[in-house]
Structure 1
Amino acid sequence: MKLLTIYVSLLFLSFIFKRSKIVMVLDFILMWIMMGWNYGSADYNVYVNRYIHPELYGTLEPFYSFLQNISKGLGWQYPTFLIAMSGFALLLRFVTISLLTDNVNEVIGLWMIFPFIADINQVREFYATSISFLGIAIFLKSGKTKRNLIIATALCFIAGLIHVSAFLYLILLVPYFKREKLEQFVNNDIAPNIKSYLMVVGIIYILALSGVLSVVGNILIGTKWSQTAEAASMAYTSKTFYFFEMILFFVLSEYILKNILNNHNNLSLRQDRLVKWIYKSNVLLLSVLAFAVITPDIYRVQQEFAIFIYCASSYYPSIIFNKRYFVTLNGVVVKLTVIYLAIVFLWLMCLAVPSLRDGVFIPAFYNNLLIN
C-alpha cells in the first residue's frame, strides 16, 4: 500500500511539474525500488531459475548470458543482479527521454501508467529496449547523422543479443543507410515508402501463416520460439486478443500523431522531424502482426514504442496546468487521447485478465524486498 500511495502521488506531480529535476529524481528512485527490489511477479521465478541453471532453458541470448556470468563471477545472487541491471536500464531510459523532450516528467508519468508496470515483470525486454531506444534517440537528435545512425544500429544489435525481439527495431533504421533516404531524413522529408514496405509485411505474414517462419524461428532461436507462443496461449485461449491489442495501439497512436502533425506550426523543426519519424515508424511496426501468428508476445515490441508516442504528445504546450497558453480543442484531444491510450493498455495488459492482475499488477506494489 505504501508503494501504491507514493506511486499515485508522484504520478500527479509528474504531470504538474513537467520539467522539475526534483520530481524526475524522485520518479527514478521510486521506479528503481519498484523494479529492482521486486519479487514474486509472474516471470520472476523463471528469471531466477535461468540465472541459477541457464543450461536447463535451451538457448538464451548470448549477451544476456554474458552479463549473468559476470554477475555470478562477482558472487551476486539474482536479486543483486536485478538491482544493478534495472538501475542501469532505467538510467538509459531516462537519458533517452531527456534527449527527445524537455517535458521529461510528463513522458515519465505516462510511462508509469503504461508500460512500466509490465516492464517490472518483463525485465529482459526492458533491458534490451532501453539500449535500442537510446540508440534511436541519438539518431533522431542527429548532429553527425551518418555516425549516429551507425551508433543507433550497433546499439539495436547489442539489444537484440539481450532479447531477440529488439532486432525488429532495426527495421526503423535500416532504410536510412541509403544516402538519398538519409538526405530525406535530414531535410525533414521522412523516408521510407510505407506502401512498398507494407507489401513486404504482407509477404512476411503469408510466410508466417504457412508455417515457414515457424520453421526458421525454431532453427535460429531454438525451442524458446515455440515455448513463448505456448506460454502466451496459457494466458489467452486465442491469439485474436493480441491482434486486437496491436491494431488498437496502432489506431490510437495514428490518431494522436495525425492530430499533432495537423498542427505542426507549434513544433520546432527537430520536433516536427521526430513526430514524422514516429508517425512512419508506427506504421512500420505493424510488421509485428505477422510474427504474432507464431509468438503472440511479440506485441511487446509495439508496446515499448509507446515511449516515443508520449514524447511526441509532450511537444504540445502545457494546456491543462499553464494558463499562459491558449487552450485549443485539438491540444486537449491529444492530451486526453494519449492518457486514454496509457490507461486502456494498463487495463488490457495488466488488469483485465486475473492471471495478469495477480501476477503482474499486484506484485508490482506489494511484493518488494526493500519496502516489505
Structure 2
Amino acid sequence: MCLHATAQRSRVSSRNQRTAPDSAKADNKGSVSKQKQLYLLDSAEIKTLTEEQLQTSQVGFMNTVKDPFTLFKLGYGKYDSVTFIFTKHYLKLSPELKNIPSQARLDKRKNNRYYFRGEMYTGKVIDYYYSGDIKEEGYYEEGLQKGPLKRYDINGILTLHTVSVADTLDLEGASTDSAGNVYYRWKYVLPGMVLVSEYYYPNGSIKKRVQLHQYGTITTKYLSSGLMTDSSSRIRTSGGPETEKTKTTERRERLLKIDEYAAALKREPGNPEIYLARAYYRLKNLEFDMALEDVNTCISLEPQEPDYYGERALMPVYKAAYFDTDDRLKKKDVLNYLANHPNINIPPAKRTAMMEDLKKAAGPFSSDKVFKELYKYLKSINF
C-alpha cells in the first residue's frame, strides 16, 4: 500500500468521525466545520502527495494524534489531528543527520531567505528518497543558498543548481548536468516582477524561452540550429486571457488538427514536431513501421532533442503490445504494461537499442518523466 492510499483512508476515517454527534464541531448556525488535518513525513509537512509513492514496506512508524491537549503540547493546537509518519530509513539515521533539515522543512520568507525554526538558516540541507538514497544536498548561509545544490534524480543522475542574488535583489539561477552543461536558466527581475526561464539543448543552444510578467506569458521555441519554430503570447485582459500566435504556428496547428500532415510539411519541411505528430497518427492506424520512420526523421532533423530518442524507444513496445495482446497503448500506459508483461516479444537487439535511447531521454535535458521512470524500471529488471 502506498502513502496516497493511507492518507485517503485516514481522511475517510475523519469524515466518519465528523458524522458522530460528540466529535462534530458546529458553528453558530449549527453547520459542521471542516476539520484541519496535518501529515508529517520524516518531520516535514506533506503539503502535496509526491510523485514518489511511499510503500507500506518503507514505513517504520505511523501514528495519528487527535487528543486536543496533546496536540497543544506538541505545538499543533490549531489542528484537529496530526499523523506522524517515519520511514525506516529515517529512523536509522544518526542524531546528527536527523538534525540536518530537508529542503521541505525550510520556510521561505518574502525577503527570499530561508528560515528554520523561526531563525535565518545557516547549515546543511539533505533530502532523501524514501528508499534512503540522497535526493538533494546543499548548504545555506544566512538564509541564502551557498554554492550549488546537488540533486539526484530517480536514476541517480546528478545535476547542480545554483542561485545568486544581485545588489538589486534580482534572483537568478542555473541548472547543469554533472559536467557543467546548462540545461535550464532562470532570472527573476523584481522591479517589473518578470520571470525569464530558458531551456537548452545538450549542445548549449537555446530550446525554449518563457517570459512571465504581470500581464501574461510570452513563449518562444527554437531548433538547435537557432531557427525559431514557435512564438506565442498569452495576455491577461478584463475579458479573460487572450492567446496570440504567429501565422506559421496557427496555420500548422490548423492543418494538424485535421490530419493534413503533407500540407503542413510542405510549408515547414524541417519541423520535426510535424513528423512526431504524424508518427502518432500512424500509430492510431496501426502503421507501426511508418511511425518509426517518422520518429527517425525527427532525430535526423533534430539530433539534440533527447525526447525523440525516448519516443523511438517506445515504438517496439507499441507494436509488440498490439500483436501480443491486442492492446493499443498510450504513452502513459507503457510502464504499467511492461510491468505486467515482462516477457513481451521484443528481440534482444531491439531491447539493447531501446535502453540506449532511453538513457539519452532519461538525462537532465529531458523533462519527460515517463522516460525517466521507464528507464529506471527496465534497468531494475535487466531488460
Tell whether the structures are fold-level matches, with TM greater than 0.5. Answer: no
Compare CA radii of gyration and give the structure with the larger one. 2
Normalising by structure 1, report the TM-score: 0.28
Which one has more relative contact order, counting CA pairs under 8 Å at least 6 apart? 1
